[in-house]
Amino acid sequence: IILAQKELQNVALGGTAVGNGANTPKGYRKIAITELAKISKLTLKPEPDMQFSLQSKFPVANASSALKNLALEIGKIANDIRLMASGPIAGLAEIGIPAVHAGSSIMPGKVNPSLAECMNMICFNVIGNDTAVSYAAQGGQFELNVMLPGMLKCVLESTDMLKNFLPIFSANLIDGLTANKQKLQENIENSPVIVTLLTPKIGYLKSAELFKESLKTGKTIRELVVSKKLMSNKEIDYLFK
């Protein structure tokens, strides 16, 4: 995003028709952009390639893409939180989330992942905006792309949504996450997949046998390993750390 932001600092003001600056008073570009930088308090400078700037809106599309990529990453985090917080009985219940409001008028005590869901919806909008920007970026013709207003609307909207909600998402959800250590430990103990960790100790074939026996009998890998005297509880504890 920072790199994309730098590309937006080049201003094509004074390019007139096709970037050749026809009929522009001498020195106008530099003076106008300097004043614009003072008013906006932004680091602005004249675009070095005026023809390119009028033809192509790549810098704007690139900024939109950077916002979309952020939305993809944050959206993935929100998805993980929703799944890990599901429960407490039928879901994973591996983490606890802050209760930011009453979860249900018919189910007392219900806690909804509302902030994660809101983050997801914002991410969906940002991704949609980027799609619109992408079409607009290739919608120009010859020396001019007149789709810039629509592109800017989408980019500014995406920026505002992320800027306004990310601090809320962080302070009211991320900072309040708690690990359900007991549940996590149970999941580890009850998962036959952890037999993979035993392979260096007891070998591949024996590990495979334990895996199948665990699935068939419902016994944990720990129970089977200890009962068969393959390893001690202390050794298993060290291995599972």
The two tokens of residue 20 are 């050749």
CA angle 215, 221, 226 (to 5 degrees): 135
* Residue 222 tokens, joined: 């720990």
- Would you call 53 a catalytic residue per the annotation? no
- Residue closest to 113 by CA, chosen among 136, 88, 138: 88
Give the separation between CA 143 and CA 58, rounded to whole angstroms: 14
| DSSP single-letter state for residue 201 | H
Residue 34 contacts by C-beta under 8 Å, 6 or more apart in sequence? none
Q: How far, in Å, CA of 168 to CA of 222, rounded?
A: 42
Q: How many CB atoms lie within 10 A of CB 211?
A: 18
Catalytic site residue from 53, 64, 65, 104: 104
HSE at residue 222, side-chain half, CA atoms within 13 A, is 15
Closest CA to 50 of 24, 13, 25: 13
Structure tokens at 39: 């008013």
Which residues form the catalytic set? Answer: 104
